[in-house]
């Protein structure tokens, strides 16, 4: 029976991965600091974390805590991270400490005791804009939208000759365009893990998660996944706020599919040293997803509020090409969006949420991070 450590494993995705691993015969240990922004000020062990999971409370930047957590384990999932594009643009030191330094501490501890496999949680945010097709049928990178364009509320990317670019699925070969401190830190985590694994001859895999959703998201954290933020607003009878015109496209993937993809990455020898997209492969507009969520929650009367503003660090369109994960890992999304949202709505009925979206928006606005 393999013994696995999940850093950040008391959180949303990590706890679902713990369930997935336990169901397949693994022993699971979690190292988590129980961050108040995610777990509340009491910092209690979450009720949803399986009693079969050994929880060690500690900071991923603490060498002693990490070394203790690594004792006796065969593999590591490194999920501990500060998450949020907007917040990363004004809490630079915090994001750099947790994401960059924390990863370095984990890697140094693994170097001192080699022989374990490592899977690191990366992010689609490092792509920046996804790939596009121009009017001539050529696939190209979109580049960044200018501030003048955004101030005119001209949201779509153009080809430089007045034609609108058509978004297409983004593969792992697309060059990163790092539009936020969060994206930069995730790219740093990814590269540190892969290069260190190569240098010290331990298998390392990076998984670029797209927009994961499902039960256990931190509903009172205004920097969490967009569906959890929308759910928090709707639970408080407030309209979900959507930047730009709401027609930006994203890839929403069930947390159960993400957890399955993580396990497959651990169990597939051919994955070592490589990077994989973990998404649904199906684009959805943010406005349509907000409306569908309102419907399954019985809040059809609350229409999304299109704010018509741009947030620094945001991109227009990005959704996953999952062909590589399908070929190498045998990964196949199994949860359709409507089914996943219905389950999410059922879970929400027993939850409470403090709506802190206005507070987070004010933080961004005060720093000139919305246009």
| pLDDT over threshold 80, residue 160 | no
| DSSP strand pairing (117-123 vs 204-209) | parallel
How many Å apart are CA 279 and CA 256, to the nearest integer? 11
Provide φ and ψ at 96, rounded to 5°. -70, -40
Report yes or no on 371 lying in a domain: no
Distances, alpha carbon 307 to alpha carbons 90, 243, 328, 371, in Å: 22, 5, 41, 11
* Average confidence (pLDDT) over 150-161: 87
Q: Note whether 145 and 288 are same-domain residues.
A: no
Residues with Cβ < 8 Å from 178, sequence gap 6 or more?
A: 126, 128, 184, 187
Q: Note whether 154 and 239 are same-domain residues.
A: no
Q: Note whether 184 and 272 are same-domain residues.
A: yes
Q: Note whether 272 and 286 are same-domain residues.
A: yes
Q: Scanning the structure block, which residue is given the tokens 């709506």?
A: 355
Q: How many C-alpha atoms does 16 have within 13 Å on its Cβ side?
A: 17
Beta bridge partners of 166: 133
| pLDDT over threshold 60, residue 364 | no
Check which CATH number belongs to the domain holding 60 and give it.
3.40.50.720
| pLDDT over threshold 90, residue 159 | no
The pTM (predicted TM-score) of the whole model is: 0.94
Q: Note whether 159 and 276 are same-domain residues.
A: no
Report yes or no on 280 lying in a domain: yes
| pLDDT over threshold 60, residue 3 | yes
Residue-range definition of the domain harbouring residue 100: 3-130+170-310+318-366
Q: Note whether 245 and 322 are same-domain residues.
A: yes
Q: Note whether 222 and 120 are same-domain residues.
A: yes
Q: Note whether 302 and 353 are same-domain residues.
A: yes
How many Å apart are CA 60 and CA 81, to the nearest integer? 9
Q: Note whether 150 and 241 are same-domain residues.
A: no
Q: Structure tokens of 269?
A: 């020898």
Q: How confident is the model at residue 369 (pLDDT cuts 50, 70, 90)?
A: low
Q: How confident is the model at residue 18 (pLDDT cuts 50, 70, 90)?
A: very high
Q: Note whether 89 and 193 are same-domain residues.
A: yes
Q: How confident is the model at residue 368 (pLDDT cuts 50, 70, 90)?
A: low
Q: Structure tokens of 207?
A: 């998984």
Residues with Cβ < 8 Å from 4, sequence gap 6 or more?
A: 21, 26, 27, 28, 29, 73, 74, 75, 76, 77, 266
pLDDT > 70: percent of the chain: 94
What DSSP letter does each residue of 76-145 carry, written as one string? EEE------HHHHTT-HHHHIIIIIIHHHHHHHHHHHS---EEEEEEEGGGG-S-EEE-TTS-EEE--PP
Report yes or no on 218 lying in a domain: yes
Report yes or no on 198 lying in a domain: yes
Of 186-200, 213-227, 270-284, which range is least confident?
213-227
pLDDT in tens, 44-77: 999 999 999 999 999 999 999 999 999 999 999 9
**Closest listed residue to residue 362, CA positions, set 244, 222, 224, 240:** 222
Domain count, the chain: 2
């Amino acid at each position: 029976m393999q013994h696995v450590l999940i850093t950040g494993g008391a959180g949303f995705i990590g706890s679902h991965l713990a369930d997935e691993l336990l169901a397949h015969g693994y022993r699971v240990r979690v190292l988590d600091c129980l961050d108040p922004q995610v777990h509340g000020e009491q910092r209690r062990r979450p009720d949803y974390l399986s009693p079969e999971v050994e929880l060690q409370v500690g900071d991923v930047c603490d060498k002693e805590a990490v070394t203790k957590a690594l004792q006796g384990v065969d593999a590591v999932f490194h999920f501990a991270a500060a998450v949020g594009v907007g917040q990363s643009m004004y809490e630079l030191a915090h994001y750099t400490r947790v994401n960059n330094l924390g990863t370095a501490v984990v890697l140094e501890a693994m170097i001192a005791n080699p022989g374990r496999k490592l899977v690191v949680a990366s992010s689609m945010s490092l792509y920046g804009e996804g790939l596009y097709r121009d009017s001539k049928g050529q696939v190209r990178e979109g580049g960044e939208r200018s501030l003048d364009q955004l101030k005119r509320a001209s949201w779509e990317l153009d080809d430089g000759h007045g034609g609108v670019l058509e978004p297409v699925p983004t593969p792992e070969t697309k060059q990163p365009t790092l539009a936020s401190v969060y994206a930069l830190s995730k790219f740093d985590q990814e590269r540190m893990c892969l290069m260190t694994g190569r240098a010290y001859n331990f298998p390392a895999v990076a998984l670029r998660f797209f927009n994961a959703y499902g039960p256990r998201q931190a509903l009172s954290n205004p920097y969490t996944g967009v569906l959890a933020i929308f759910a928090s607003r709707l639970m408080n009878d407030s309209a979900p706020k959507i930047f730009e015109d709401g027609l930006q496209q994203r890839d929403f993937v069930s947390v159960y599919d993400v957890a399955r993809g993580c396990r497959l990455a651990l169990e597939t020898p051919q994955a070592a040293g490589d990077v994989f997209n973990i998404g649904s492969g199906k684009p959805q507009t943010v406005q349509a997803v907000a409306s569908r969520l309102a419907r399954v929650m019985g809040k059809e009367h609350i229409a999304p509020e299109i704010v018509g503003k741009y947030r620094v660090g945001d991109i227009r369109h990005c959704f996953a090409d999952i062909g590589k994960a399908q070929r190498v890992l045998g990964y196949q999304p199994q949860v359709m969006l409507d089914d996943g949202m219905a389950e999410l709505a059922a879970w929400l009925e027993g939850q409470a949420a403090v709506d802190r979206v206005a507070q987070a928006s004010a933080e961004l606005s005060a720093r000139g991070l919305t246009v």
